[in-house]
Chains A and B, each alone.
Chain A
Amino acid sequence: MANPIAERAALRSPLGRVRGLGSAKSGTQAWWMQRVTSIALLPLTIWLVFSLACMAGASFGEAQAWVARPLNAVLLLAFLAASFHHSAAGIREVIEDYVKPEFARMGSVLVVKGVCALLWLVSSLAVLRIAI
């Protein structure tokens, strides 16, 4: 049986909750995902930096053949996803620390998110077109 007191145990009004002005019980999610992507990027970065360094001066055919290899394509897609997630989270943190006016802050965070999402899609589509 529904307990009206338990249902209303949260002191914050529904309006306050939808405005995002109180605890939504997910406050650590952004912080945690930044750490998760950073851990994922540790091995991926070591692999990518050394792989790309080895490809200096590679011809068009050599470079395409390298990206087309399934393992390289999968790791590239993983690197791009983790990188752009981590970049958007990191730049957002910088903006939120240094940009005070709320409209400018929210606007620039949204622009950064949009640009990161688009760049992630562009680069991932490029990898897929080469690999498939």
Chain B
Amino acid sequence: MSNMQDGREAGMIGSRTDGAPVRRPLSPHLQAYDMLQITSAMSISHRITGVAWAIGLLFLVWWLAALAAGPGPFGAVQWFLGSVLGWVVLMGLSAVAWYHTLNGIRHLAWDAGYGFSIPATYRSGHMVLIGTAVLTGITWLILFVAWI
């Protein structure tokens, strides 16, 4: 260990209960974590959906700016949003928005000091996933009914 080249190796020097050195991550880490656990999977999903939604706001800006600019530019946005790619974007964004919104309520509850036990965390996680599916389905239904 004396010829350590990479500073990140410092976080890999553990020891067994008998004191023998062992090379393993010292703290929760992608190598040691099962990322398919609902807790960690929903945590990183909250970030991913947050970033995706921030990028998705570009479509709202485009829509509003085109609406202010005139019928020509607005027709271009409506054409895109009505295309297959536009539908994929809108459906994806609605799912992402509902997930981030519902999981955000979960985070606010944690910030307030509630729901930290493992059963409560799993329960709220399942509620967020079910709620996302329900609200996204309702949104798509409204979208489809308004479209036809």
| Contact of A42 (CB < 8 Å), options: B64, B74, B101, B146 | B101
Q: Which residues of B contact A67 (CB under 8 A)?
A: 64, 67
B67-A63 in contact (CB<8A): yes
**Cα(A69)–Cα(B64), bound, Å:** 14
Q: A35 on the interface (CB 8 Å rule)?
A: yes
Q: A57 on the interface (CB 8 Å rule)?
A: yes
A interface residue count range (under 10 / 10 to 19 / 20 to 34 / 35 or more): 20 to 34
| Contact of A123 (CB < 8 Å), options: B60, B101, B147 | B60
Q: Which residues of A contact B61 (CB under 8 A)?
A: 119, 122-123, 126
Segment at the interface with A among B16-24, B33-41, B103-111, B114-122: B103-111
Chief secondary structure at chain A's binding surface = helix
Q: In the complex, how many residues of chain B place their beta carbon closer than 8 angstroms to a beta carbon of chain A?
A: 34
20 A-B pairs, CB-CB below 8 angstroms? A35-B108, A35-B111, A42-B105, A50-B139, A53-B139, A53-B146, A54-B146, A57-B82, A60-B71, A60-B75, A76-B64, A83-B57, A84-B57, A87-B53, A90-B51, A90-B54, A94-B47, A126-B61, A126-B67, A130-B67
Q: Which A residues, 34 to 63, have Cβ-Cβ distances below 8 Å to chain B? A: 35, 38-39, 41-42, 45-46, 49-50, 53-57, 60, 63
Q: Which A residues, 15 to 38, have Cβ-Cβ distances below 8 Å to chain B? A: 35, 38
Chief secondary structure at chain B's binding surface = helix
13 new A-B contacts, CB < 8 A, other than A49-B94, A90-B51, are A38-B107, A39-B108, A49-B139, A54-B146, A56-B147, A60-B75, A63-B74, A67-B64, A76-B64, A87-B53, A87-B57, A119-B61, A126-B64
